[in-house]
Amino acid sequence: MTDPIRLLLADDQALVRGALAALLSLEPDLTVVAEVSRGDEVVPAALRAHPDVALLDVEMPGMDGVAAAAALRAALPDCRVLVVTTFGRPGYLRRAMEAGANGFVVKDTPARQLADAVRRAHAGLRVVDPTLAAETLATGASPLTERETEVLRTARGGGTVAELAATLHLSEGTVRNHLSSAIGKTGARNRADAVRLAETNGWLLG
């Protein structure tokens, strides 16, 4: 009998992480060897446990799952990465694949399909939710510049232009220009709508 596939789970929600561990451990060829709750704990845990496949959430404290995927690929190139997230956003998928992830699935994937996705990722295959893949192709890459993304990301919490300018160490005029450009590029009605659209498409990760 071949050795079971060794798994690392990274998710900041303990209940979700526990449920994933319990479900995957029911499979005779899968074994969970490490669990972490923060993105910046992924590489240290992987270096200790030597997993074959890491299942990473996207939105975690310390480091997001996409950055953790890139760091893990650099530290342990033989470890496959499967991004498992609640947020099936096209921009997340695109960035995860660019970071070297082998797959991207949403958390409501049935347990049997998730286990199969782990096996396929371990075999070196690409595993992507087909609906999300189609949306990603249709949406395309983010039209926002790095600075426009930073301004919208800061604007998520609300605040006046003056407050945003102070936070970003930019002039108010520069912030207004970036906001105006971002609103135009996203086809939004206003600043809040631009933030919502960029968030929905997964363009504000970071």
- What is the per-residue pLDDT across 102-132, written as a single tens digit (0 to 9) for each? 988 888 888 888 999 999 999 999 888 766 6
Number of helices (H), then strands (E), in the chain = 10, 6
Instruction: Report how far apart, in Å, the C-alpha atoms of 93 and of each of 108, 136, 143, 153, 178 are.
Output: 16, 7, 16, 19, 25
* Mean pLDDT of the region 159-187: 88
pTM here is 0.67
CATH of 146-200, one of 3.30.70.890, 1.10.10.10, 3.30.2000.20, 3.30.465.10: 1.10.10.10
The answer to whether 60 and 10 have CB atoms below 8 angstroms apart is: yes
Task: Measure the CA–CA gap between 68 and 43, rounded to whole angstroms.
Answer: 7
If one looks up domain 5-138 in CATH, what number appears?
3.40.50.2300
Q: What value does the mean pLDDT of the chain take?
A: 87
* CB atoms near residue 126 (< 10 Å): 12
**Which of 127, 110, 128 minimizes the C-alpha distance to 27?**
110
Written as one letter, the residue type at 176 is R
Task: Measure the CA–CA gap between 8 and 94, rounded to whole angstroms.
Answer: 22
The per-residue pLDDT for range 37-76, each reduced to its tens digit, is 999 999 999 999 999 999 999 889 999 898 999 999 999 9
Question: Identical fold at 5-138 and 146-200?
Answer: no
Q: Is 191's pLDDT higher than 60?
A: yes
Query: Quick one: pLDDT at residue 201?
Result: 74
> What's the sign of the alpha-carbon dihedral 70, 90, 120, 65?
positive
The answer to whether 199 and 191 have CB atoms below 8 angstroms apart is: no
**Every domain of the chain and the residues it spans:** 5-138, 146-200
Query: Quick one: pLDDT at residue 90?
Result: 62
Residue labelled with tokens 């993304």: 149
